[in-house]
């Protein structure tokens, strides 16, 4: 089927008639994250991360597994490079494990073996013509810092900035694309949103998510200025990765339309608005709503901290690109009549209900459906929201276990078509990374849910990687786009 596609080149844009359009220098990649793949959890000077701690000491992981070995990528980086090469990607998005390079959390003590491991990975990628996109923080901060309050501690701004500086110092001569944070939506609300039932504590449900947002946005901005001021000679790009699931109003009533906009502002705008709009602040809607509800709930001031004028100046415009992780779509309806507004929680502030259309093809994880037009809508929304700032799609993928994973092939076909349509309609998309290169530790789902283009056998000590049908499909797809773009 691919051989039949006809490409023509118009104004430097290579176009596939009736099918896919990608700019000439478009980047295709695959993504992973340190905790999900590396293993070697306590080797060569690495300390315990907050996720090691969750997996070792709580009952929160579905299969009671942990990241002690995972895909063993710490010992198998040659195998990871081999499959990346086989896929034919231009780029690899991976993350650095904070406790592997700064075991105590602080920059006073750098672990030489941690630096060695990432140096080796970066050098081997470059030797294979694969450019790294490095996520500085993909959820696994040192447990020592969790004991100091994690992201609710405002001092994390400095600790993170110091950590980022170490990364720029050691790797920035070769890494030219950096993402500070992956999906604050998830780590600021891990216990509150979707993954686990509410903890029923005002501190964790109603206050912590806002402290976290306030801290991490300032941490991001500080890292940006360090990079631009102290490492200007490295001439790289730095951005942040946000999760943007698409959502449509369930009905065309004003209530549902308003609720859908509110949902987007609470999920995406709260992180995007300060950095990507000229306001440099949280969305007005979010500020007003949390302030009003806080008052109603007898708080002395809003549960959402304010940025100072100085903060706003520091934060505004601090990203060369916006990374978007997009997976699925939902339908939103208003829930403000159904919730007790006197019970403080970010969920009640948001006041929406989500559902899906039962005709959408389901994946093997409860929140993920194959709805390709959702990606198109999300990208058009981002175009408008950020005044067409450059976007990298930093994750997109499907959950399916079979080696002959026709559901995932169907998903990638449709989503890459939507991506191409969005590009044709003017969206400024620079890169696309599939999630994930490998099956890996899927957080609270342990090893029970699989997102890999490559299957990993977790019961075999050598953790063999096997290409799924989707890996073969994507390889051909990238090859066809590249060969016709020449």
Over the window 438 to 457, marking each residue x when it contacts ligand PNW by CB under 6 A and - when it does not, the resulting string is ----x--------x------
CB 450 to ligand PNW: min, Å: 10
Tell me how far apart the alpha carbons of residues 66 and 53 are, in angstroms, rounded to a whole number.
9
Helix (H, G, I), strand (E, B) or coil at 325: strand
Tell me how far apart the alpha carbons of residues 161 and 142 are, in angstroms, rounded to a whole number.
15
Number of residues that bind ligand PNW (CB under 6 A): 15
Q: Does 190 bind ligand PNW (CB under 6 A)?
A: no
CB of 452 closer than 8 Å to CB of 436: yes
Give the nearer residue to ligand PNW in terms of CB position, either 243 or 418. 243
Stretch that binds ligand PNW, among 2-10, 178-186, 262-270, 372-380 (CB under 6 A): 178-186
Lookup: tokens for 91: 């780029």
Q: Does 435 bind ligand PNW (CB under 6 A)?
A: yes
Q: Does 194 bind ligand PNW (CB under 6 A)?
A: yes
For tokens 């079979």, the residue is 402
Catalytic residue among 38, 48, 79, 183: 183
Catalytic residue among 265, 314, 395, 400: 395
Q: Which of residues 126-165 bind ligand PNW (CB under 6 A)?
A: none
Helix (H, G, I), strand (E, B) or coil at 376: helix
CB 305 to ligand PNW: min, Å: 25
The H or E element containing residue 379 is helix 372-385
When computed from its CA atoms, the radius of gyration of the chain, rounded to whole angstroms, is: 22
CB of 327 closer than 8 Å to CB of 412: no
Angle 176-181-185 (CA atoms, 0-180°, nearest 5)? 150
Helices (H), 41-152: 50-57, 77-87, 98-101, 112-127, 143-147
Over the window 286 to 325, marking each residue x when it contacts ligand PNW by CB under 6 A and - when it does not, the resulting string is ---------------------------------------x
Residue of the chain from 367, 377, 381, 448 that contacts ligand PNW (CB under 6 A):
367
Give the nearer residue to ligand PNW in terms of CB position, either 22 or 74. 74
Q: Does 33 bind ligand PNW (CB under 6 A)?
A: yes
- Residue 183 annotated to the active site: yes
CB of 386 closer than 8 Å to CB of 275: no
Backbone angles phi, psi at 8, to 5 degrees: -130, 155
Residue of the chain from 26, 271, 327, 477 that contacts ligand PNW (CB under 6 A):
327
CB 33 to ligand PNW: min, Å: 5
Lookup: tokens for 124: 């081997």
CB 441 to ligand PNW: min, Å: 8
Q: Does 182 bind ligand PNW (CB under 6 A)?
A: yes
Q: Which of residues 368-407 bind ligand PNW (CB under 6 A)?
A: 395
Q: Does 243 bind ligand PNW (CB under 6 A)?
A: yes
Tell me how far apart the alpha carbons of residues 81 and 89 are, in angstroms, rounded to a whole number.
10
How far lies 136's CA from each of 50, 55, 171, 226, 370, in Å? 15, 22, 11, 14, 29
Q: Does 34 bind ligand PNW (CB under 6 A)?
A: no
**How would you classify the pairing of strands 454-456 and 465-467?**
antiparallel
Q: Does 415 bind ligand PNW (CB under 6 A)?
A: no
In the complex, the residues that contact ligand PNW under the rule CB under 6 A are 33, 36, 182-183, 186, 194, 243, 245, 325, 327, 367, 395, 435, 442, 451
Residues that are catalytic: 183, 395
């Amino acid at each position: 089927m691919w051989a039949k596609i006809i490409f023509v080149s118009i104004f430097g844009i290579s176009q596939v008639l009736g099918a896919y359009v990608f700019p000439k220098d478009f980047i295709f990649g695959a993504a992973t994250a340190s905790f999900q793949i590396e293993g070697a959890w306590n080797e060569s000077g690495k300390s315990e991360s907050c996720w090691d701690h969750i997996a070792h000491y709580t009952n929160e992981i579905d299969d009671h597994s942990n990241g002690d070995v995972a895909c063993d990528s710490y010992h198998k980086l040659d195998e990871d490079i081999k499959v990346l090469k086989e896929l034919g990607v231009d780029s690899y998005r991976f993350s650095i494990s904070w406790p592997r390079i700064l075991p105590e959390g602080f920059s006073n003590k750098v672990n030489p073996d941690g630096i060695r491991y990432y140096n080796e990975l970066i050098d081997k990628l470059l030797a294979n013509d694969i450019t790294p996109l490095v996520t500085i923080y993909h959820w696994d901060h040192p447990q020592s810092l969790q004991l100091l309050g994690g992201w609710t501690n405002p001092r994390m701004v400095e600790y993170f900035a110091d950590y980022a500086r170490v990364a720029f110092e050691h790797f920035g001569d070769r890494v030219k694309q950096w993402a500070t944070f992956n999906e604050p939506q998830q780590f600021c609300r891990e216990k509150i949103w979707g993954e686990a039932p509410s903890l029923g504590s005002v501190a964790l449900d109603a206050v912590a998510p806002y402290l976290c947002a306030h801290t991490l946005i300032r941490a991001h901005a500080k890292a940006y200025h360090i990079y631009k001021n102290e490492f200007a000679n490295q001439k790289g790009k730095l951005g942040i990765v946000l999760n943007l699931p698409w959502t449509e109003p369930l009905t065309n009533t004003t209530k549902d339309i308003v609720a859908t906009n509110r949902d987007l502002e609470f999920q995406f705008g709260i992180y995007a608005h300060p950095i990507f709009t000229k306001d440099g602040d949280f969305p007005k809607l979010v500020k007003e709503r949390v302030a009003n509800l806080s008052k109603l709930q007898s708080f002395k001031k809003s549960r959402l901290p304010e940025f100072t004028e100085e903060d706003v100046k520091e934060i505004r415009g601090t990203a060369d690109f916006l990374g978007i992780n997009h997976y699925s779509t939902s339908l939103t309806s208003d829930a403000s009549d159904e919730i007790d507004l006197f019970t403080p929680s970010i969920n009640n502030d948001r006041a929406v209900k989500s559902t899906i259309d039962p005709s959408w093809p389901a994946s093997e994880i409860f929140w993920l459906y194959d709805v390709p037009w959702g990606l198109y809508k999300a990208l058009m929304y981002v175009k408008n929201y950020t005044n067409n700032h450059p976007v990298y799609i930093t994750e997109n993928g499907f959950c399916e276990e079979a080696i002959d994973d026709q559901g995932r092939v169907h998903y990638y076909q449709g989503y890459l078509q939507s991506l191409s349509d969005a590009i044709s309609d003017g969206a400024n998309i620079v890169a696309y990374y599939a999630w994930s290169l490998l099956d890996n530790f899927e957080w609270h789902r342990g090893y029970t849910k699989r997102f890999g283009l490559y299957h990993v056998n977790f019961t075999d000590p050598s953790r063999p990687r096997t290409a799924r049908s989707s890996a073969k499909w994507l390889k051909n797809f990238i090859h066809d786009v590249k060969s016709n773009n020449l």
